[in-house]
Structure 1
Amino acid sequence: MARERHVRLPLLDKVSTTPGRKSLVFAAVLPLLTLLDVFTLPSLRLDAFLARASWAVELVALALLFEHASEKQRRLLILGHCALGSFFYLALVYTTGGLESPYVHLVPTLPLLTAFTYPEESGSAVACGIGCALVIMAQVPMGTASFAQAAGWLSILGSATFFGVFGSNQFRKAAAAQNESRLERARRETLEKLARAELKRTQSERLATVGRLAASVMHEINNPLAFVRANIHFVETEVLAQPLSAELRQELEEVFAETRAGMERIQQIVTDLKGFSHSMDAEEARVCSLGEVVQDAARLASIRLKSVGTLKVEVPAELPQVFITPRRLAQVLLNLLVNASDALEEARVPQGEVRVRGEVLGKRVVLLVEDNGPGFPPQVLPRLFESFFTTKGPEKGTGLGLSISRELVERFGGSLIAENRPEGGARLRIELPIHEPGHEPRKSGA
């Protein structure tokens, strides 16, 4: 026949290690309780003190044995201690007057007190109840109590033992439920962390792949772009060298100027994408101007914003410098700008506008990314930075953009806060500490 395994709950294991400590505390307090006799007895009694002292010695012995005992031995020690404890208490009652003792009124409650003291062991109340019952029944042949008195005491004692056992069982069930709930919560948190880490890893791999692909595409664009630039310069030189009317020459010069501007625009976009395709982890934090970072992010975001609204950048060049990783902050700004454009597009705002403003607030530099869209719904605002929370469809968002953005900003002592503008629309506030020479902020993450 297979043996049933006794599974210990972690919470109960923690509780079961405390009886040794409880015993030492009770052993230290018991002799001091002799002072109660001054107020409850006509005079101090040596035999009552000896009863308490013997009980204290038993408690010390329990504590010493408990530390080196196995689980089964610990359970037997608790049961034996509960039975002995009832004998010692009844000895105290006997030495202080028997049925006339002021301590006799606590006898029926001993199983309950024992169950309360050792709730992890349901047999403690039974052991105490049996010990008390044996002493009470011994009083009948000794002539110190009648059969009716003993029967009354035993009935009360039996009730207290029953409720003590019931309370211990309820404690164990509650402890088991609490432990199961804690394990389930820990399991869910672990699964959530694993899912978040897996999603971040997948996105990192995808971004790395896109970055490598973008680098290859940009290399392929740069080569023909150089040919086009050279050929346009050759054609411009040859055409303008011909005898032309003033009106035609001016018109051709404007066409060539617009063509050069278009090629420069393509070149700038390729350069910006090339910078973002590089690994940001390879870049060290440094002192930089926010204006440059905002301009880099704005150039890339303008491609997305062009179809939904206008982008206005109001970042003064004289803003104090900050200590950050420029590409990380540019990534944050680009994410906020793209989110703003998505909100304007989804709400179909007729004259959409996204504004990036910079200002100084005390010892911090503030960047405000605002739009004139519908703003954040009240029920969404408190959960905006939760991982995997998104109001976009699965094809547009994963719910990690704002969470990662806040993490990136906080790594350099900053903060990212979302709010609604009083005049309508959403506002994302980035606050960064002003760089003080010789006081580089400590990063909170890699």
Structure 2
Amino acid sequence: MPRARKGVQQEREPESAWGAEGGGDPLTTPSAITFSSQQLSTLLHEVRNPLTALNTLAKLLQKRLPPEDRNHWIGLSIEQECKHLQDLLLEFERSDGIPATLQLQPLALADVLQEWIPVYQAVAETQGHHFQAEIPSHLPEIQADPRALRQILDNLIDNAYKYTPSPGQIQLRVEPQPHNTPTRVEVSICDSGPGIHPENLERIFDPFFRADPSKPGQGLGLAISRDLATQMGGQLQVDSSGHREPGQQGSCFRLSLPLA
């Protein structure tokens, strides 16, 4: 940044829209994603109107498709997604855009995943992918924030869809670790894509780093996901083609979380 001229007060750099004060080293934020508090408030207000309409349509859809209809889950899932977005908007309105402290609580992982999986499967189908979930029927409760967990999985699965050529295989797998005396549960998101180049593996979680600039996004999803995992006392790691067992392709992100 050029020096301010003598007698002229130097303007402050715009603050990043991501990250709270004191939450780590400051990030060099592209100007394209910086905005004022007034702009943020306006955006939140404008988003709420179509969201309310979607919620109303979801309830109407559930009336048109009664519980005995095999497509009833669609309206129910849309309503759940609207509730999730409304909660996120409320959180931002309360904190001027700074994410609130995570609310860690005992969480029945299998139950919450069963609610989210139909949405992941539907999105996979629209993009020409096959989504498969392997979840044991009996899992110990984990200690996590449900909204943070959802954000991590959304980011990981969205990346898998984005970087896997169609038709691809996307798999969500859950298992306690280690098997004999479990202290954690591991959630893996694996894909059949081309994998991550070895030179990019060390930087894949860096803020604003994008392995393929031609893909949409700002390069924040994985950085935010690892930060949320750390705040919950967990870890987020990745292995990819060339670093996996012979014959395997693609990437595999592994999220481990402590038991409740």
* Residues 222/300 of structure 1: CA separation in 2 closer, same or farther (3 Å cut): closer
Within 2, Cα distance between the matches of 1:201 and 1:322?
36
* Residues 415/374 of structure 1: CA separation in 2 closer, same or farther (3 Å cut): same
* Residues 358/197 of structure 1: CA separation in 2 closer, same or farther (3 Å cut): farther
Within 2, Cα distance between the matches of 1:222 and 1:205?
27
* TM-aligned CA deviation for residue 324 of structure 1: 0.8
Within 1, Cα distance between the matches of 2:206 and 2:62?
46
Structure label with greater radius of gyration? 1
Asked if the contact 1:314/1:356 (under 8 Å) is kept, the reply is yes
Asked if the contact 2:162/2:215 (under 8 Å) is kept, the reply is no
Amino acid at match of 2:70: A
Residue 411 of structure 1: aligned partner: 231
* Residues 295/390 of structure 1: CA separation in 2 closer, same or farther (3 Å cut): farther
Q: Look up the SS of the partner of 1:374 in the other structure.
A: coil
Asked if the contact 1:300/1:334 (under 8 Å) is kept, the reply is no
Within 2, Cα distance between the matches of 1:192 and 1:273?
32
1:306-326: per-residue Cα shift (whole Å, max 9, x none)? 132111111213121111111
Q: Establish whether residue 428 from structure 1 lines up as the match of residue 253 from structure 2.
A: yes
Q: Identify the range of structure 1 (407-416 vs 271-280) with the bigger mean alpha-carbon deviation.
A: 271-280
Consecutive aligned runs of 4 or more in structure 1 exceeding 6 Å deviation? none
Higher helix residue share: 1
The aligned runs of 1:194-343 (5 Å cut-off) are 195=29, 199=33, 205=40, 208=44, 212-213=48-49, 215-222=51-58, 224-225=60-61, 228-229=64-65, 260-262=69-71, 264-277=72-85, 278-279=87-88, 281=100, 284-306=103-125, 307-343=127-163
The aligned runs of 1:123-134 (5 Å cut-off) are none
Kindly tell me the number of residue pairs found equivalent between the two proteins: 213
Higher strand residue share: 2
C-alpha RMSD of matched pairs (Å): 3.3
Gaps of 5+ in 1: 1-189, 234-255, 436-446
Within 1, Cα distance between the matches of 2:213 and 2:231?
29
Within 1, Cα distance between the matches of 2:128 and 2:46?
25
Within 2, Cα distance between the matches of 1:208 and 1:383?
32
TM-score, scaled relative to structure 2: 0.70
Q: Look up the SS of the partner of 2:172 in the other structure.
A: strand
TM-score, scaled relative to structure 1: 0.43
**Bigger RCO (CA 8 Å, 6+ sep):** 2
1:226-269: per-residue Cα shift (whole Å, max 9, x none)? 6635xxx7xxxxxxxxxxxxxxxxxxxxxx96xx222x132222
Q: Percent identity?
A: 25
Asked if the contact 1:414/1:433 (under 8 Å) is kept, the reply is yes
* Residues 191/386 of structure 1: CA separation in 2 closer, same or farther (3 Å cut): closer
Residue 357 of structure 1: aligned partner: 173
Q: Name which of 189, 208, 211 aligns with 1:391.
A: 211
Amino acid at match of 1:321: E
* Residues 200/213 of structure 1: CA separation in 2 closer, same or farther (3 Å cut): farther
